[in-house]
């Protein structure tokens, strides 16, 4: 029996992610390319046929969360942040959700439903157990509390980003997906950066009319490092004219559904890069198929490896197919909590792929603030921003060209072992030259 069968035998049902297989390709410029519209039409039909395999169950997390939300609304009224009066009204458990831009379904099945899905092996690429990632929480640098330094952040300087700014590369016209705790859209450094915003409630449903806000602080900080404009005399955003498609997907509720919904939304918005600073401890294959879909759409996922120290990592940052990022400090040493892990042969590989500035990094904080934080969550948006600069330089570049330029530009500081820093720190100037 598989793990899915075991879970069903324990509780009678299980939450699954179903990845749909059929894709329509057409020949363009001598090569086969994905026909997105035709593929979505094919997969939507399959999703309708498979809908009957899913169900709502009394003891499921979906049912329990929906009940809690209804009780809260009865006591407190609708969420005042949601502009539309019906945005959170009477939430109900859903048997299944279909995400058309990713071509995946998520819901609960019993044994009969699982068997039905398995019988459709020509239409289904994978059935995976749903897992709930958590935020990769940073370390707050209380010793540095107060006003930020002026000039340019050490991370910007370390990557040689100003030399690309001198060439007019600021990320203009590049949309970066950002799934996190949200973003303070009124922050002076970000109010012109947030091009699109979405909030996904605890069930994974999009909240109609939600204004750009942060349910914590993590999202505002990471967003600032991607595309923040100068504030309080400090330049800290790598791509200060890039645009953000920012979504609240974490924390609480059916996190896995919220994250998949956020990724699907980012794809639909046309993001070329998606910054992901969250994960599940250890290796978990749940998001692997989704990463494959993102890359197939030409989208670069930049993902934090985790803050749990050496010989640890988090999924999806530890997948072979992602650009994963660890953290260094301003002394060119690995940040002590930055995760790293070597996966064994056959086909062994090491993660993270690269390292970037992530210790005591100043960025935007809710309510017009600035704050230094440390973590691989801070290192990763530096790389997302760098990718935006490179894509502005060559808008026609393929995903592999952007990724290879970043990887091949990297060099590892002498004081950092290979198993901790892998390829090392990217060089923006070298990456631009490699891209051509």
pTM: 0.94
Concatenate the DSSP letters of all residues of 97-111 into one string. EEETTTTEEEEEE-H
Determine how β-strand 139-140 pairs with β-strand 134-135: unpaired
pLDDT tens for the chain, residues 1 to 436: 588 999 899 999 999 999 998 788 877 766 777 888 889 999 999 999 999 999 999 988 899 999 998 888 888 876 655 444 444 567 889 999 999 999 999 999 999 999 999 999 999 999 999 888 888 888 886 556 678 999 999 999 999 999 999 999 999 999 999 999 999 999 999 999 999 999 999 999 999 999 999 999 999 999 999 999 999 999 999 999 999 999 999 988 999 999 999 999 999 999 999 999 999 999 998 899 899 999 999 999 999 999 999 999 999 999 999 999 999 999 999 999 999 999 987 789 999 999 999 999 999 999 999 999 999 999 999 999 999 999 999 999 999 999 999 999 999 999 999 999 999 999 999 999 999 8
Q: Which helix (H) or strand (E) holds 429?
A: helix 428-435
Give φ, ψ of 290 to 5 degrees: -65, -40
Instruction: State residue 80's pLDDT score.
Output: 54
Q: What is the CA radius of gyration of the chain?
A: 21
- The pLDDT of residue 89 is 60
**Distance from C-alpha of 9 to C-alpha of 12, rounded to nearest angstrom:** 6
| Residue 8 dihedral angles phi and psi, to the nearest 5° | -65, -40
Note if the bond before 346 is cis, omega within 30 degrees: yes
At residue 200, the 3 state secondary structure works out as strand
């Amino acid at each position: 029996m598989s793990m899915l069968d075991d879970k069903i035998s324990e509780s009678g049902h299980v939450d699954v992610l179903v990845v749909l297989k059929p894709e329509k390709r057409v020949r363009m410029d001598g090569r086969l390319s994905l026909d997105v519209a035709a593929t979505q039409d094919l997969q939507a039909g399959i999703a309708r046929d498979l809908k009957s395999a899913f169900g709502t169950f009394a003891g499921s997390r979906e049912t329990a969360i929906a009940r809690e939300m209804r009780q809260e609304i009865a006591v407190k009224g609708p969420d005042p942040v949601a502009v539309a009066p019906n945005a959170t009204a009477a939430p109900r458990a859903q048997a299944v959700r279909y995400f058309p831009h990713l071509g995946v379904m998520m819901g609960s099945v019993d044994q009969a439903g699982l068997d039905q899905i398995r019988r459709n092996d020509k239409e289904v690429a994978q059935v995976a157990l749903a897992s709930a990632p958590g935020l990769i929480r940073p370390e707050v640098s209380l010793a540095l509390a107060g006003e930020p330094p002026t000039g340019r952040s050490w991370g910007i300087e370390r990557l040689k980003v100003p030399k690309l700014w001198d060439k007019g590369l600021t990320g203009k016209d590049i949309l970066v997906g950002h799934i996190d705790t949200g973003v303070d859209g009124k922050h002076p450094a970000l109010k012109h950066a947030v091009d699109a915003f979405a909030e996904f409630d605890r069930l994974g449903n999009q909240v109609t009319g939600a204004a750009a806000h942060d349910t914590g602080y993590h999202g505002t900080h990471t967003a600032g490092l991607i595309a923040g404009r100068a504030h309080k005399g400090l330049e800290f955003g790598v791509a200060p004219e890039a645009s953000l498609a920012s979504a609240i997907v974490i924390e609480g509720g059916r996190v896995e559904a919220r994250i998949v919904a956020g990724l699907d939304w980012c794809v639909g918005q046309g993001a070329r890069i998606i910054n992901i600073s969250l994960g599940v401890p250890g290796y978990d294959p749940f998001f692997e198929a989704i990463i494959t879909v993102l890359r197939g759409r030409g989208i670069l996922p930049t993902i934090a490896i985790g803050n749990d120290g050496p010989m640890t990592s988090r999924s999806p940052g530890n997948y072979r197919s992602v650009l994963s990022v660890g953290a260094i400090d301003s002394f060119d040493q690995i940040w002590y909590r930055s995760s790293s892990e070597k996966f064994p042969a056959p086909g062994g590989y090491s993660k993270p792929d690269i390292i970037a500035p992530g210790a005591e990094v100043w960025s935007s904080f809710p309510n017009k603030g600035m704050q230094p934080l440390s973590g691989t969550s801070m290192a990763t948006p530096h790389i997302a921003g760098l990718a935006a600069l490179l894509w502005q330089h060559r808008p026609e570049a393929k995903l592999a060209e952007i990724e290879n330029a970043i990887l091949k530009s990297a060099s590892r500081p002498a004081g950092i072992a290979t198993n901790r820093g892998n390829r090392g720190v990217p060089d923006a100037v070298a990456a631009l030259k490699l891209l051509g």
